[in-house]
Amino acid sequence: MSVIRVRFAPSPTGYLHIGGLRTALYCYLFARSQGGKLVLRIEDTDRTRFVEDAEDDIVQNLARCGLDVDESPMLGGPYAPYRQSERQNLYRKYAESLVDSGHAYYAFDSSDSIAELRKRNKAYDASTRLQMDNSLTHPKEVVSMRLESGEEYVVRLCVPEDVTIQFDDLIKGAVKVDSANIDDQVLIKSDGMPTYHLANVVDDHHMAITHVIRGDEWIPSTPKHILLYQAFGWQLPAMAHLPLILSPTGGKLSKRSAQRQGIPINVSDYLSKGYEPQAVMNFLALLGWNPGTEDEVFTLEELVSTFSLERVGSAPAKFDLDKLNWFNAQHLRRLDIEVLLERVRPFLEEHGIAVQDAYIQKVCLLVHDRLQHAKDLATNFSYCFVDPVTFDPKGVKKRWKSDAASLVNDYSTRLDALTSFNEDALEFELRDLAASRKVGAGRIIHPVRLAVSGTTAGPGLFALLRVLGQHTCVRRLRNAVTKLG
């Protein structure tokens, strides 16, 4: 059996978005799980919507997510080039062969006459093509003359009148469409570029693609592609159409709707917000696929080994940010401390926090399990790096009683005198102080936490004090005593 080849074929009309990433992920998982190859093909045939740096963005973010490809425009490969704009001659050749074999024709209609046709609620198909201005309605000599004179034209597929086109989708099952519902598709545009339909079929065949994995929105176009495969006498690759991702309210997950709901849309946004690539992959994988077990947290590698197309569902799925956040916390927690350090550092820098790696590591160890996002260290736990400037008013009201100042002050004196700043000593001093002042330990613990962090929540107090260090603790305690009185 021949090697499995899958392609991810984005068009560079925008940056890589979360939906595109999911398609890429499924392509990747399938290819890798089958020991096959993954091809990145850039479908840049729409010159009007072309975005200069989109291809770069797509390539980079795919890589950042760990989705490495085997063949691509920059990597090259046995079927290069991998940019459709660089393969124009191929499409033209095949379009002409289709005209020769009677499966396509040249059309010269003006956009006005086509608009007119549609206004009459007519399709450009078997029912109307003979009324139009094309190579079916003019003598051969006239057509070649017009062609040679440089007149603008398109090549259209001659869709057969009344056939049922059927295919078996690996995900959706049997899909049937009547050719009467299909227009004579434009294959070559008047600017000489192929349309998606032609380029896609020609390239998939020439690049020996065995499995077409793409979004749901292509199902209605698949019969057109099948017609092309048949006209060329080529074997149809296996088809797998993935259900779409919907916005949380059910609509299309567009840039607009996503933004309105606080959902990042571009992959680079997720990454720059500090989402773990693995968490995003994990979340996306389970949006439409399930392993058939009750396991939920997977690395990319584990996904590869359990993935199968058969377990992809056919219903669209709504995007759920809460779940993504949960996955993020799960993956963050599984990170080695060295890796976590790398994740967290950019956010510390962003917040103007410049400290030694060794110290950041200590803090990471301390709060590892309390992090949902890499940025949390710089925000929720900023007190690990800078003295608190404010004290949570509710906390003060609840914990800073009349004796707090004197207790905290006494504790600071004891800490100052400590020769070994370890947790046991810290705890002993506190409890000993509590006993001598005849108060419960909590009477000191809470004000101390407040004094040192500005909040009432956080890691175990003695571990926190240890990490902060002697000088910082004493300074903060005394500072709080003056400020809170």
Interface with RNA by CB under 7 A: which range of 129-137, 172-180, 345-353, 417-425? 172-180
Put residue 106 in one of left, alpha, beta given phi > 0 → left and psi -120 to 50 → alpha.
beta
- Of residues 39, 43, 207, 411, which one binds RNA by CB under 7 A? 43
- Of residues 1, 52, 89, 111, which one binds RNA by CB under 7 A? 111
Residue 419 main-chain phi, psi, to 5 deg: -95, -25
Distances (CA, A) of 359 to 352, 365, 369, 425, 441: 16, 10, 17, 21, 29
Closest CB to RNA among 28 and 283? 283
Q: How far is the CB of 214 from RNA (least distance, A)?
A: 9
Report helix, strand or coil for 484: helix
Is 405 near RNA (CB under 7 A)?
Answer: no
- Of residues 441, 475, 483, 484, which one binds RNA by CB under 7 A? 441
Interface with RNA by CB under 7 A: which range of 92-100, 179-187, 202-210, 349-357? 179-187
Q: How far is the CB of 380 from RNA (least distance, A)?
A: 9
Q: Which residues, 364 to 383, sit near RNA by CB under 7 A?
A: 369-370
Sign of the alpha-carbon torsion through 324, 327, 331, 333: positive
> What is the token pair recorded at 376?
């949390």
Q: Which residues, 245 to 274, sit near RNA by CB under 7 A?
A: 246, 248, 250-252
Question: Is there a catalytic annotation at residue 483?
Answer: no
Cβ(158)–Cβ(102) under 8 Å?
Answer: yes
Interface with RNA by CB under 7 A: which range of 193-201, 202-210, 263-271, 358-366? 193-201
User: Going residue by residue from 114 to 153, which x/- string records binding to RNA, judged by CB under 7 A?
Assistant: x---x----xx---------------------------x-
First to last CA, the chain: 81
Of residues 303, 279, 301, 302, the one with CA closest to residue 289: 303
Beta-sheet pairing, 104-107 with 154-157: antiparallel
If you ran DSSP here, which 8-state letter would residue 293 be given? S
Q: How far is the CB of 460 from RNA (least distance, A)?
A: 4
Q: How far is the CB of 372 from RNA (least distance, A)?
A: 8
Sign of the alpha-carbon torsion through 29, 35, 36, 39: positive
Q: How far is the CB of 455 from RNA (least distance, A)?
A: 8
Other CB atoms within 10 Å distance of the CB of residue 395 = 18
Other CB atoms within 10 Å distance of the CB of residue 377 = 29
Interface with RNA by CB under 7 A: which range of 9-17, 65-73, 226-234, 471-479? 9-17
In angstroms, the CA 66 to CA 64 distance is: 5
The active-site residue out of 122, 255, 273, 398 is: 255
- Of residues 128, 261, 268, 456, which one binds RNA by CB under 7 A? 456
